[in-house]
Amino acid sequence: MNKNHQRWLLPRAHKHAHWSTIVRRGVAVVLALVIVGALVAQLEVKRDLHRLDAGLLSGAQEGNYHAIAVELAALAAKENGKLRDVTSAGSTENVTRLRAASSSCEAAFALVQDGTDWGGGGLELVARLPKAESVVFLGRDADKITLFSQLAHAKIGVGPEGTGSARLASQLFALPEMAALGVALVHAKVEDEPAMLQDGRLDLALIVIDEDAPWLGNAVRGGLQLAGFSQIDVVGRRLPHFKTGRIGAGEFDAVRVLPAADKRVLRVETLLVKNRCAGRSATIDLLRVLAGRFPELMRHNKETPNTTGLTLAPAARSFYDLEGPELADEYVPWLVDVMPPANWAYVVMAVSILFNVMGLGHRFRLWRIDAARVKLEAELGAVFGPTTTLGDIAHARPEEEAKARAESKHLADIVRQLEELAARSRRQSLSALVPMGQEMAYRYQESVIYETLAVLRGFLRREGATRALTADPNP
């Protein structure tokens, strides 16, 4: 058999392993292509809000929160989104129901008044609406009220129990100097309070409302007045969720000038909060709707401090920082629901590190094979001389062969070690640690080993034949 062909003769098990590796890698490539194709098919090139399907807790049907929820639902529906308005008694009930809905997912979002008791963890802040609600005191002769001391022993309507206005009133009149006034807080329906003011059952009504709400304008034009307190800024600093603002003279009727003078009022923000049922894509979609409805949403949430006591949801933080959705939120929303984009960067980094470690293992094993081969070649140099080549051994003269004959056992051992090293090289070349296309480094090592084996085997055969011819026939 041709010596040049001997180096490529492999054990049958190695042949099977070689083809098995080719098949496995081919299957892996096909699977990778299928996965890539499936991912591309899932790209949402034409983006809409069809993934938004959630309930939004608002408030009473006559209230501002309900009006906001209805408007947001209509805007979402224009882009195939489903936002269900879920009416309630107000902010306190919204928090309770939103926490309870974490398991049933009846609702994923809620509009809540700032300063509400959050009742522990489980909720996250999505947005602070740029337009705050006003805290107004309505009464028949409220224009005459400019000092808090004038509220002593007054009967003040604060809305039904569990509403944001009732909680805010209890916080306000719990302040030490306000508690000394002996105010009686009366729980009543907001729609009943104007009649109660007219017949004297109430002296004032504290209402948290959007100053542009039709109900408030109708109440003022119908004869009720707004109280304005000169010390409102001092009280506003006592509670972190209170702010102050102004309702200008003539706001509700510029001809009759209603109110007759500017009124300094407390303001409180409206918050959008969520539970764990709201995934990242749904949160981003609702933020897109909010940003369309409130153009100042981005600026307000980026430039004003969050004093709500709630943690801003990661999806919302990303939305405000980038002033819109990320590319992954835009085109693969289903993927970001599995893991946020920031975490995917860590996954890519981990995979990169894994492949680097695998490559390091591959290079280390290849180096050990090369080092073992060089060591065996050094042993051959000790037998035949340091400058002897394989060609010299293949054409060794009789006197050189006689010199090496004493080392035949050593040479046989070297042959055995080279055979083991060749088998080891082939086995490791089929390992998953070897990057695709790097098998040729092992093939080079094998070719050098098999070439050396061919020469040494030929030498040992000649040495065996010479020994047989020179042996004494009559010992």
The gap from C-alpha 339 to its chain's centroid, in whole angstroms, comes to: 5
Q: For residue 142, what are the CA distances in angstroms to 138, 146, 150, 254, 457?
A: 6, 8, 10, 19, 115
How much is the average pLDDT of 310-326? 91
On average, the pLDDT of the chain sits at 84
Pair type for strands 204-209 and 263-268: unpaired
Domain shared by 295 and 249, yes or no: no
- Strands (E) in 140-226, as ranges, are 155-157, 184-186, 204-209, 225-226
Q: Is 44 inside a domain boundary?
A: no
Domain shared by 360 and 395, yes or no: yes
The residue ranking higher by pLDDT, 291 or 345, is: 291
How confident is the model at residue 15, as a pLDDT? Answer: 54
Q: Is 48 inside a domain boundary?
A: no
Q: Is 177 inside a domain boundary?
A: yes
Domain shared by 137 and 263, yes or no: yes
In tens, the pLDDT along 354-364 reads 888 888 888 88
In tens, the pLDDT along 367-402 reads 999 999 999 988 888 888 888 888 888 887 655 555
Most confident of 248-262, 391-405, 431-445: 248-262
Domain shared by 217 and 113, yes or no: no
Residue 432 confidence class, pLDDT cut points 50, 70, 90:
confident
- % pLDDT > 90, the chain: 47
How confident is the model at residue 337, as a pLDDT? Answer: 61
Q: Is 15 inside a domain boundary?
A: no
Domains: count for the chain = 3
How confident is the model at residue 394, as a pLDDT? Answer: 82
In this structure, what token pair is assigned to residue 33? 């292509």
- % pLDDT > 70, the chain: 84
Backbone angles phi, psi at 272, to 5 degrees: -110, 120
Q: Is 282 inside a domain boundary?
A: yes
How confident is the model at residue 254, as a pLDDT? Answer: 93
Q: Which residues contact 417 (CB under 8 A, 6 or more apart)?
A: 372, 376
How many of the other CB atoms lie within 10 Å of CB of 79? 15
Compute the distance between CA of residue 324 and CA of residue 295 in angstroms, rounded to an integer: 12
In tens, the pLDDT along 8-43 reads 444 555 555 556 666 766 777 777 777 766 655 444
How confident is the model at residue 459, as a pLDDT? Answer: 82
Q: Where residue 182 sits, what CATH number does that domain have?
A: 3.40.190.10
Pick the last residue of a domain from 331, 354, 376: 331
How confident is the model at residue 469, as a pLDDT? Answer: 47
In tens, the pLDDT along 164-201 reads 888 889 989 999 999 999 999 999 988 899 999 999 99
Domain shared by 289 and 306, yes or no: yes
Pair type for strands 124-128 and 155-157: unpaired
Q: Is 31 inside a domain boundary?
A: no
How much is the average pLDDT of 104-123? 90
Upstream peptide bond of 259 is cis (omega within 30 degrees of 0): yes
Domain shared by 312 and 434, yes or no: no
Compute the distance between CA of residue 262 and CA of residue 229 in angstroms, rounded to an integer: 11
Compute the distance between CA of residue 49 and CA of residue 332 in angstroms, rounded to an integer: 13
pTM score, whole prediction: 0.66
Q: Identify the burial level of 249 via C-beta atoms within 10 angstroms of its C-beta, where 0-12 means exposed, 13-18 middle and 19 or more buried.
A: middle
- Domain extent, residue 241, equals 133-267
How much is the average pLDDT of 127-154? 94
How confident is the model at residue 120, as a pLDDT? Answer: 77
Q: Identify the burial level of 392 via C-beta atoms within 10 angstroms of its C-beta, where 0-12 means exposed, 13-18 middle and 19 or more buried.
A: middle
Backbone angles phi, psi at 455, to 5 degrees: -70, -45
Pick the last residue of a domain from 331, 358, 381: 331
The residue ranking higher by pLDDT, 427 or 33, is: 427
Compute the distance between CA of residue 216 and CA of residue 247 in angstroms, rounded to an integer: 12
Domain shared by 232 and 314, yes or no: no
Residue 331 confidence class, pLDDT cut points 50, 70, 90:
low
Q: Is 214 inside a domain boundary?
A: yes
- Contact criterion met (CB below 8 Å) for 274 and 340: no
Domain shared by 212 and 143, yes or no: yes
In tens, the pLDDT along 447-467 reads 999 999 998 888 888 766 555
Q: Which of 76, 427, 126 is nearest to 85 (CA)?
A: 76
Domain shared by 139 and 260, yes or no: yes
Domain shared by 259 and 376, yes or no: no
In this structure, what token pair is assigned to residue 377? 């070649």
Domain shared by 172 and 220, yes or no: yes
Task: Return the minimum-mean-pLDDT range out of 69-73, 90-94, 116-120, 262-266.
Answer: 116-120
The residue ranking higher by pLDDT, 432 or 145, is: 145
How confident is the model at residue 4, as a pLDDT? Answer: 44
Q: What share of the chain is helix, strand, coil (3-state, %, to 5)?
A: 55, 15, 35
Which residue, chain included where needed, has tokens 């993927």?
A: 335
How confident is the model at residue 135, as a pLDDT? Answer: 93
The residue ranking higher by pLDDT, 470 or 220, is: 220
pLDDT of 7 over the 90 cut: no
Q: Is 475 inside a domain boundary?
A: no
Q: What is the dihedral of CA 74, 75, 77, 80, to 10 degrees?
A: 180
Amino acid occupying residue 181: L
Domain shared by 257 and 296, yes or no: no
Pick the last residue of a domain from 247, 267, 287: 267
